[in-house]
Structure 1
Amino acid sequence: MEVKVKVWIEDDNRNLVFGSGKNEILKYVELTGSISKAATKAGMNYKKAWSHIQVLENYIEDKLVITKKGRGEDSGSKLTPKAKELIELYNQLDEDIKKYSQKRFEELFLKKDELISLKEDDAS
């Protein structure tokens, strides 16, 4: 048994700044060299993927994706070092929180290798 946790970052006005969706798009841009292909892999349309990138770029006031049109060898989309750093930091935060959550879940809910009953009918 395991606990599930979802991690995202909000600004002071509770606007989503960064989370698994934006992280996934950046990873897929790096993998595919294309925002369009990244969107397809993430199961979203191009406009939404591009919007994720723009929102994040506006918030951090820095470029994350460099796009060069054409068909040459250097055409397509590439991540900036800042984007790669954001992916790395988010992944570390996500992993740390999930590890801590699982550890704490086990401390609170598991006794002598048995799950504390969470069913109402077992409470009697």
Structure 2
Amino acid sequence: MTAKKRNVYVKSKVWLVDKEGRIIFGLGRMRILKAIDKCGSLNSAAKELKMSYRAVWGKIKVTEEALGKPLLVKNQGGSAGGGSTLTPYAYTLMNRYLELSRIVDTQADDLFESGFLDPK
């Protein structure tokens, strides 16, 4: 009986972590960057994600420090308002993360379907 007939499947997640095991990047950080890109500011993104500004900023800061590259260009307030935009590196990181996740999912699915539950 194949895994599909059993209604069993494999699910995987990909995180980039530092040597202490702290998450540096994953789907949560991806959601944050997408929200910032959509909303144009950390504050608006935090509200959309129903997170505190401090939590959103803290996660971005941890990622930037670990990778040694900025993810945001922060514009000061004033009459035109503030805001944040993603750096080209942030877009590259997001695209590469999605590609890595796709590869991991494909490889996991292939291994699982090749008889993972029914070894010979």
Structure possessing the higher radius of gyration over alpha carbons: 1
User: Greater share of strand residues, 1 or 2?
Assistant: 1
When the two structures are aligned, how many residues end up with a matched partner?
Answer: 110
Residues 27 and 87, structure 1, Cα contact 8 Å, conserved in 2: no
The TM-score, its normalising length taken from structure 1, stands at 0.77
Q: Structure 1 residue 49 and structure 2 residue 63: aligned?
A: no
Cα distance in 2, alignment partners of residues 70 and 77 from structure 1: 14
CA RMSD of aligned residues (A): 2.0
Quick one: percent identity of the two aligned structures?
Answer: 34
Greater shift after overlay, 83-92 or 8-17?
8-17
Give the match's secondary structure for 2:115: helix
Aligned residue number for residue 78 of structure 2: 70
Q: Structure 1 residue 90 and structure 2 residue 72: aligned?
A: no
Give the match's secondary structure for 1:91: helix
Q: Which amino acid aligns with 2:48?
A: K
Residues 70 and 76, structure 1, Cα contact 8 Å, conserved in 2: no
Residues 25 and 49, structure 1, Cα contact 8 Å, conserved in 2: yes
Q: Which amino acid aligns with 2:80?
A: G
**Structure 1 gap ranges (5+):** 111-115, 117-124
Q: Which amino acid aligns with 1:13?
A: E
Residue 79 (structure 1) shift: 0.4
Q: Which amino acid aligns with 2:31?
A: E
Cα distance in 2, alignment partners of residues 61 and 103 from structure 1: 35
Cα distance in 2, alignment partners of residues 71 and 28 from structure 1: 23
Aligned residue number for residue 12 of structure 2: 5
Cα distance in 2, alignment partners of residues 104 and 5 from structure 1: 12
**Structure 2 gap ranges (5+):** 1-6
Residues 18 and 66, structure 2, Cα contact 8 Å, conserved in 1: no
Task: Return structure 1 stretches of 4+ with deviation > 4 angstroms.
Answer: none
Q: Which amino acid aligns with 2:21?
A: R
Cα distance in 2, alignment partners of residues 34 and 86 from structure 1: 19
